Chains A and B, each alone.
Chain A
Amino acid sequence: MPANRHDQAVGRLIERVTKIIMIYIIHIIKFAIMATVICFAGPLTIVQTEAAAKEIAGGHEIAAQLPKLDNATCLTCHDASKGELKATETNGNSQLPHGIDNIRLGKSVHGEMQCIACHKEITDIAAPHKKGAGQKADCIQCHLELWEAAKKENLTKEKARLGVVVRNIETYKNSFHARPNKEDKSHVNAACDDCHNSHTFNVPPQGTSRRTDWHLTIPNVCGKKCHTDELEEYATSVHGKKVLEEHNQKAAVCIDCHTTHGIANTSKDTFKISITENCGSCHTENLKSYRDTYHGQVNKLGFGYTAKCYDCHGSHGILSPKDPESKVHPDNRLKTCQKCHKEATQGFVTFSPHANTHNLGRYPQVWIVSRFMWALLAWVFAFFWLHTGLWWYREARDRKARKNHPDWRKETK
């Protein structure tokens, strides 16, 4: 049966080819479906994500721009810790972007904040920024608002440090620094960020070595830009040498005498008095002995016209009394006294403005006289109060007894 065999072979071949074609068609369809899914579903997913993001932002316009104006974006231009900043050229003007030390920013109390949370006027990425309608960075406004919010949420205890900031702000507002500058009335004498670097701000805790380092920077904070003459004089003083050369954090820096936020004009009586107190917060014994003199007593009563620490010792250029240049060195003393006591005579030089009653070696006359006076007082009062007490007792008793004997003189005669 050759014809049957032939038919069977053709049939098998057709069957095979058909199978192969079918497989190909299935693959093509599969590919087509996948392509369709890729072409349509992909963009669909992205649209959905954007919509979700908008929803999360609660309709805030600024939030919609957040991905564009986050800190990473800002730091692409403003990070000074990576090396040199690149200048941008606009209308022929070359301007360096304001550099931010990102590493120190990260450690600061403001490290987790968004740049634009303070720099509200920045709304675009391109340099130079078109300054928007938003308010410029305002330390005071922001901290006051945060404190108000903390008060509403009953978090004043947890945010005690914020309370300190707010108190400092209140003190600052009455300070000499907060007054409009005489030359440029649109500016204050010194704003927060003239002393505090708002980006790296972080006062280290008391007692740490970082606190010491921070303390030692203060003369430069005050003196570098503004109080240059004072810094120059301070650098020659006993305090300045200790701080700037020996890095001794115990020696006074500007704020130890002048206070920090409440800095006032030094011609004000109340401020003169508070400076005296501030000297005494380190020189306690000397403040105590000063308070025993008329100078110190009048000062304590709230009047600034008698001699205060710096009237005799000098202020920014204060020297050790042993220094021959010191205003209180015995050779220069009479001249110093004569600043106030115009007619002062030689005896003024040997007056001890800081004498005490417990140092026999140094102040023998004072030691002896004070003990004599105490003994005198003790004996006079011991005798007379005993006399008085007994008299009271006897006379009261006799009077009681006399009620029964009206003619009392008979008893005593």
Chain B
Amino acid sequence: MTHRITDELPQEHGKQVRRFGLIWRIAHLCFALSVMLLILTGMAVFYADTTWAPVIMQAFGSPKVAGIVHRTSAAIMLSIFFLHLVGVAINIARNWKAFKWFGPDSLVPNWQDFKDVYGMFKWFLGKGPRPVFDRWTYWEKFDYWAVFWGMGIIGSTGMMLAFPNVTASFLPGWVFNVATIVHGEEAFLAAVFLFTVHFFNNHFRPDKMPPPDVVMFTGSVPMEEFKREHTAQYTRMVEAGKLEKYLVDTPPRALTLGSKILGLALIAVGLTLLVLVIVGFVSASTR
């Protein structure tokens, strides 16, 4: 009956639990925007034989312009990714001795994640209680590491295609054939995954209704939601007496409202892109 403990904490009223710092939130927003621009400009080429693709290209003026936008967005996305790596490295280095690679604050997958996957499926089928999660759920970890995979695969093939003369000076020509396929298919995977699975997990589940979930814009979650979604972390922190460290004021109304508008706008753009990709996929498979 852990909830009874916090019910007695006076700090809880009007407070939220902080999950994402300002820099991470800005990074996520820039990352999302650059990825959306990459999807728009890339899919218009990947699905060039749809009716919508030439319209997008006309809006940009020419595939040359769209190409510049694509590469600029890629540069932003990759910069954020590498800056994030630096940030993570600094954090770990500072905390080198205390950092537990498989601990609850680490994003490295551990056995508990596999148990949670199993537990969730049992819950889905009505054969067990809903598992409780610590700081990072397994789907959040998947989202995180999927970006590594995506960056590696889409980024490296994109670089090969963007600098063909360098590529072809030490690699055979078939790498362009392979890179084109991998770049496009992996981008399709990323786009569809983001706008279906990621959107569902964070915005469209019945418990998250109505969308959007603004934690990635305000940085904090209401205590009720925190207790529900990260029960294990909550318990752990209450027991260690560390919860107060993470309590922040409820964000001002303007920030919450702005975050909601921003969240809905991004969701709308994402779903539109999803429709365009589906139209492209269907028309390519019926060709």
Interface residue? A373 (CB, 8 A): yes
Listed in ascending order, the chain A residues whose CB lies under 8 Å from chain B are: 291-294, 296-298, 300-303, 305, 341, 343-352, 355, 357, 363, 365-366, 369-370, 373-374, 376-377, 380-381, 384-385, 387-388, 390-396, 398-399, 409, 411-413
Contact of A301 among B44, B172, B177 (CB under 8 A): B44
State whether the Cβ of B147 lies closer than 8 Å to any Cβ in chain A: no
CA A370 – CA B183 in complex, angstroms? 11
- State the CA gap A341–B169 with chains docked (Å): 13
Determine if B193 and A384 form an interchain contact, defined as CB atoms under 8 angstroms apart: yes
Question: Do B57 and A291 touch (CB < 8 A)?
Answer: no
Chain A residues contacting B54 (CB-CB under 8 Å) are 301-302
Find chain A residues with CB under 8 A from B201 CB.
388
Residue ranges of B at the interface with A (Cβ–Cβ < 8 Å) = 1-3, 44-46, 48-49, 53-54, 57-58, 62-64, 120-121, 123-126, 129-130, 132, 139, 161, 164-178, 180-182, 185-186, 188-189, 192-193, 196-197, 200-201, 205-207, 227-228, 231
Taking a contact as CB atoms closer than 8 A, the residue among B49, B129, B173, B185 that contacts A377 in the complex is: B185
A365/B177 contact (C-beta < 8 A), A291-B49, A391-B120 known: yes
Q: Given the complex, which residues of B lie within 8 Å of A387, measured CB to CB?
A: 120-121, 139, 197
Q: Least Cβ distance of A370 to chain B in Å?
A: 5
Structural contact, B185 and A294, CB atoms closer than 8 A = no
* Shortest Cβ distance from residue A337 to the other chain B in the assembled complex, whole angstroms: 9
Known: A291-B49, A377-B189, A396-B206. A347 touches B123 (CB 8 A): no
* Contact (Cβ within 8 A) B177 A352: yes
Say yes or no: B46 contacts A297, CB within 8 Å: yes
Count of chain A to chain B residue pairs whose CB atoms are closer than 8 Å in the complex: 146
Interface residue SS majority, chain A:
helix
Taking a contact as CB atoms under 8 Å apart, the answer to whether A291 and B168 are in contact is: no
A343 CA / B164 CA spacing, docked (Å): 9
Q: Are A365 and B178 in contact (CB under 8 A)?
A: yes
Contact B46 A352 (CB under 8 A): no
Q: Which residues of A contact B180 (CB under 8 A)?
A: 292-294
Chain B residue contacts of A381, Cβ below 8 A: 189, 192-193
Tell whether, in the assembled complex, residue A376 and residue B189 are in contact, meaning their CB atoms are under 8 Å apart: yes
In-complex Cβ contact of B197 among A292, A297, A385, A412 (8 A):
A385
Measured CB to CB, the nearest residue on chain A to B123 is A394
Nearest CB of chain B from residue A302's CB, rounded to whole Å = 5
Query: Which B residues are in CB contact (< 8 Å) with A302?
Result: 54, 57-58
Q: What residues on A are CB-neighbors of B181 within 8 Å?
A: 357, 366, 369-370, 373
CA separation between A344 and B129, bound complex, in Å? 62
